[in-house]
Structure 1
Amino acid sequence: MPPTSSTPPWDVHRPPRAEGRVFLVTGGNAGIGYFIAEQLSATGATVVLGCRDPARAAAALTSIRTQVPGADVRAVRLDLADLASISDAAEALEVPALDAVVLNAGVALDAPPRRETADGHELMFGTNHLGHFALTGRLMPLLSAARAARVVTVGSFAAKSERLDPDDLQSRRDYRAKRTYGRSKLAQMYFGLELDRRLRAHGSPVRSLVAHPGGALDSLTPPRPPVHDRSVGALLRAAPAALLVQGKHAGAWPAVRAVLDPAAYGGQLWGPRRFGLRGAPRPEETWSQLADTAVAARLWEASRRATGVDPDPAQGPRGR
């Protein structure tokens, strides 16, 4: 089996250089996605932010260029809740090859009512999972054109206590906002691992990995105005929590390592070192529910039917 760590030891503050490579980060305008984009930009790579809101994308680009002088960063409009917009976003990249996509963007609702996407899918499942499923299918030709591309799916520690119900993926019978969010992120993680199995079976050079940020709080996150601001009071109130969790800048580390570490390999799950909640990134044991390949296969088929796209390299991105 390939090694699980690079040599020299991984330094979250000095990841390897990546000039000449192109990375797409969905939801790169805010939260963990912003810090993934900022940290990848510091490697010399070209980083593209996939964002729904042009104004928020512009603010993120300004902040990254302030933090990383000379950063090669731009944005494309991407609305994962609208399947018709996803092909346009893939075409807007205007690159011959894509070295990595970080499937990070997501929506989280805290309370009812149940809401739906433009295509009639439950909003969190439709955005967090189905949108990324369709986007990956559309990007597969660009990923396959790169020398050794990676798909990095950003899940959530909130998914660890959840189980998928393949007969109610859209939460029509059992809608509880926080549970539905956790299940949507779990579906993403199932997808990332199943994608790697299918890539291996097809002999593709593309690798698919999964990462999660652990516990990441705004109040422990360094300010990046106007993208993110933090008062001294908020930091002081959150200081005791820093024993267990971390800021969103640190929550970005597992995904960044999954993109860049030459020793990382397909099918891995990356998370924070300490209790899966904070610290430097490391590979984790796959969560027990994620080893259920029968559920993964049912999810894949349901997702293919719902989106009209199939990211399986043996099939090609077909459909609308």
Structure 2
Amino acid sequence: MPNSALQSPPWDVHRLPRADGRTVLVTGGNAGIGYFAAEQLAGTGATVVLGSRDRAKAQAAIASIGARVPGARLRHLPLDLADPASVGTAPQGLGRLGLERLDAVVLNAGIALDHPPRRTGPDGHELMFATNHLGHFALTAHLAPLLRATPGSRIVTTGSFAAKSERLDLADLQSARDYKPKRAYARSKLAQMLFAVELDRRLRAAGSASLSVLVHPGGALDALTPARPPLHTPGTGERLGHLPLGLVVQGKDAAARPAVRAVLDPGVRGGPVLWSPRVFGLRGEPRPEPLWEHLADPATAAWLWEASCELTGHQPQF
């Protein structure tokens, strides 16, 4: 673990540093952890762009944040990560919003399917793998020129505990032969996390000023998440019934904090580090910890990078 991460100044999740003049794109910023990351970042004075394929949900999220953060600077970028055409227009979309810099992108959006049959996106790739990994890989490639042009830019990738016990099947990367939804989801998140680690290695080798930072939110429950009507309104019975779990896990507002710290904290640096909640990686304030052992496998990460280049037709270049 880099000494720079261990020596970072005290971090107060309730007193975030100002980020006026900066621009942050949060994929999936209209709901869940992405919504709370956007809300917290908006409170720092940054311009926050919500990447979302659903305009109505994005506008509802913008209205909710605006009601809680006076003067919030919020935008919506139409973005469907499973659709290469939509991903490819992201830089032009930011330009149409009048945004000339991109200080950070939070690769947060994702889908989890619970039941067969196996589904595919517009390009024929398995839908969870296409959305959670390939879409973010291609998005980073398309945004690379804008990120390169913004000093100290950051690519923040949100992982998942689901990936901790999973391994990629390099002979069946998209679960074409043996499709089990929960396993396919876990592998798609593992691929996304390996991408963040490999991107970090490449950025440091190139001497780039941009950072790739890997985070995971810990255990996040809707029942422990503050209400944000009409987006999220947990019932009283639901909240009371899950209160004991608050000793172990947390709400999605707290689960957004590792990503927010990765965007804002000047003490965060690249390297083989995973930013996660303090208490067993499940709840509490974010802190750096060593990578899980299988995330530190450079051969698999490099293989996946090349496979992702071939599948998307793009390569992030910094």
Shorter-chain TM-score range: over 0.9
Q: Which residue of 2 aligns with 1:233?
A: 237
Segments of 5+ residues of structure 1 without an aligned counterpart are 314-320
Per-residue CA shift, 1:145-188, capped at 9, x if unaligned?
11100000001011111111122110112211111101100100
Q: Distance in 2 between matches of 1:124 and 1:66?
A: 33
**Where does residue 41 of structure 1 map in the other structure?**
42
Is the 8 Å Cα contact of residues 214 and 245 (structure 1) preserved in structure 2?
yes
**How large is the RMSD of aligned CA atoms in angstroms?**
1.1
SS of the counterpart of 1:3?
A: helix
Task: Report what 2:317 is aligned to.
Answer: 312
Using the TM superposition, give the Cα deviation of residue 285 of structure 1 relative to its aligned residue in structure 2, in angstroms: 1.1
In structure 2, the gaps of 5 or more residues are none
Match of 1:86 in 2: 87
- Secondary structure of 2:213's aligned partner: strand
Aligned to 1:107: 111
For residues 197-236 of structure 1, the C-alpha deviation after alignment (integer angstroms, 9 at most, x for no partner) is 1111222110001001110000000001111111111100
Matched residues in 2 for 1:300 and 1:166: separation? Answer: 12
Q: Percent identity?
A: 65
Alignment check: 8 A CA contact 1:97 1:144 kept = no
| 1:260-279 paired onto structure 2 within 5 Å | 260-267=264-271, 268-279=273-284
In structure 1, what is the Cα distance between the partners aligned to 2:270 and 2:9?
21
Q: Distance between the aligned counterparts of 1:245 and 1:112, measured in 2?
A: 29
The reply to whether residue 11 of structure 1 matches residue 15 of structure 2 is no
Contact 2:126-2:174 within 8 A present in 1 as well: yes
> 1:287 aligned to 2:292?
yes
Amino acid at match of 2:164: K
CA contact (8 A) 1:195 1:312 kept: no
Instruction: Indicate the larger mover: 48-57 or 263-272.
Output: 263-272
Q: Which residue does 1:244 correspond to in 2?
A: 248
Residue deviations 1:270-317 (CA, integer Å, cap 9, x gap)? 11010111111001110000111110111111110111110032xxxx
Please name the residue that 1:62 is paired with: 63
Picking from 274, 286, 303, the partner of 1:298 is 303
* Structure 2 residue matching 1:35: 3-state secondary structure: helix
Alignment match, 2:178: 174
What is the aligned partner in structure 1 of residue 206 from structure 2? 202
Partner Cα separation in structure 1 for residue 276 and residue 51 of structure 2: 23
2:260 is aligned with what amino acid? V
Match of 1:317 in 2: none
Shift of 1:96: 2.2
Contact preservation (8 Å) 2:9, 2:267? no
Quote the residue 2:218 is aligned against.
214
Which TM-score applies when normalising by structure 2? 0.96
Residue identity matched to 2:115: A
**Corresponding residue to 1:255 among 256, 259, 265:** 259
2:25 match:
24
Q: TM-score, normalised by structure 1?
A: 0.96
Would you say the 8 A contact 1:189–1:290 is kept in 2?
yes
How far did residue 8 of structure 1 move? 4.6
Cα deviation for residue 240 of structure 1 reads 1.2
Structure 2 distance, partners of 1:149, 1:166, is 32
1:283 partner SS: strand
- Match of 2:153? 149
Could you give the per-residue CA deviations for residues 111-144 of structure 1, whole angstroms, max 9, x where no partner exists? 1111001100000001000000000000000101
Q: Which amino acid aligns with 2:204?
A: R
